[in-house]
């Protein structure tokens, strides 16, 4: 066991996290694959090279217990893949304090809680932290405000962390997927059923339906993101950010254009729906 490099992946029950666990284990890493539900943990345990860990990133007790188990097993920890995330959507005027807090509890505070707990092990190994962000971490879309805000926050957190840890030899890499075909779109369909009072509710519903349809039919497979995670963990000098999308032209244009021009483009796109 001690000959392997060990990596911990949060949110490994499905989608990107599951693909990361499978790929990394197949490439010789030892993988601590984290999930909340007993059935998911049993399924993960069936993958060669994987040790399943019960871990809800919003639970300080779970995080502390997972770190204790990793230390007890020995072998250290070379990599941390902060993948666990949720998406809260809808008109911001309809979003409650509780919903916004839930969004940040997972996508930001959960990341911080896990990173802080495992950082001593990563410093010992001079390892790497991979943050699963999103194209929503630099391009904010209407009616996905909570999710975009959490990913923008994650990007700032990651940049600060990278600069703090540079002298310690611990790398921090951000992976920014575009649309990916994962179960998150099924969960998004449930959010469309909310009975919002906002005057934007109908527009939000149309945009949500469009996003879900594209996500299910035109999204990248989770394995494409997992491959970038593997690269981020293994190459000698990884990029600071990996944008993973079928085409990056749109994103390059958006980053160059004035914000008001981008606003008008979005408005025209909404009017065509």
7, 34 Cβ separation under 8 angstroms: no
φ/ψ region of 249 (left if φ > 0, alpha if ψ in -120 to 50, else beta) reads alpha
Torsion of CA 216, 243, 234, 3, to 10 degrees: -40
CA distance 170 to 152: 22
Structure tokens at 272: 């065509």
104, 153 Cβ separation under 8 angstroms: yes
Of 32, 147, 157, 242, which one is the catalytic site residue?
147
* C-alpha neighbours within 13 Å on the C-beta side of residue 54: 9
Residue with tokens 């729906």: 273
What is the full DSSP assignment across 99-159? HHHHHHIIIIIHHHHHHHHHHHHHHHHT-EEEEE--GGGTSPPTT-HHHHHHHHHHHHHHH
Q: Which helix (H) or strand (E) holds 244?
A: strand 241-244
Residue 106 to residues 111, 122, 231, 236, Cα–Cα distance (Å) = 7, 21, 25, 30
Q: Active site includes 251?
A: no
Residue 17 to residues 42, 178, 235, 249, Cα–Cα distance (Å) = 15, 15, 20, 27
Residue 66 to residues 112, 131, 172, 197, Cα–Cα distance (Å) = 15, 19, 21, 42
Catalytic residues: 147
């Amino acid at each position: 066991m001690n000959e392997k490099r060990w990596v911990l992946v949060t949110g490994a029950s499905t989608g990107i996290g599951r693909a990361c666990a499978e790929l990394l284990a197949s490439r010789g890493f030892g993988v601590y694959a984290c999930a909340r539900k007993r059935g998911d943990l049993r399924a993960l345990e069936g993958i060669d090279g994987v040790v399943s860990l019960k871990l809800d990133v919003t639970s300080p007790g779970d995080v502390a217990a997972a770190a204790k188990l990793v230390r007890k097993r020995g072998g250290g920890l070379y990599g941390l893949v902060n993948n666990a995330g949720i998406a809260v959507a809808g008109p911001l005027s309809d979003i409650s304090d509780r919903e916004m807090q839930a969004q940040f509890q997972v996508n930001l505070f959960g990341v911080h809680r896990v990173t802080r707990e495992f950082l001593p092990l990563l410093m010992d190994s001079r390892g790497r932290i991979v943050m699963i962000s999103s194209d929503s971490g630099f391009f904010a879309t209407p009616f996905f405000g909570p999710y975009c805000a959490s990913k923008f926050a994650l990007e700032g957190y990651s940049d600060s962390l990278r600069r703090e840890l540079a002298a310690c030899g611990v790398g921090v890499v951000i992976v920014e997927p575009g649309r990916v075909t994962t179960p998150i779109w099924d969960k998004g369909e449930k959010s469309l059923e909310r009975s919002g009072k906002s005057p934007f509710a109908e527009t939000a519903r149309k945009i949500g339906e469009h996003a879900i349809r594209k996500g299910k039919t035109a999204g990248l497979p989770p394995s494409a993101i997992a491959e970038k995670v593997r690269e981020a963990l293994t190459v000698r000098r990884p990029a600071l950010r990996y944008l993973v999308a079928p085409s990056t032209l749109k994103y390059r244009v958006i980053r160059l254009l004035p914000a008001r021009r981008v606003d008008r483009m979005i408005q025209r796109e909404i009017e065509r729906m």
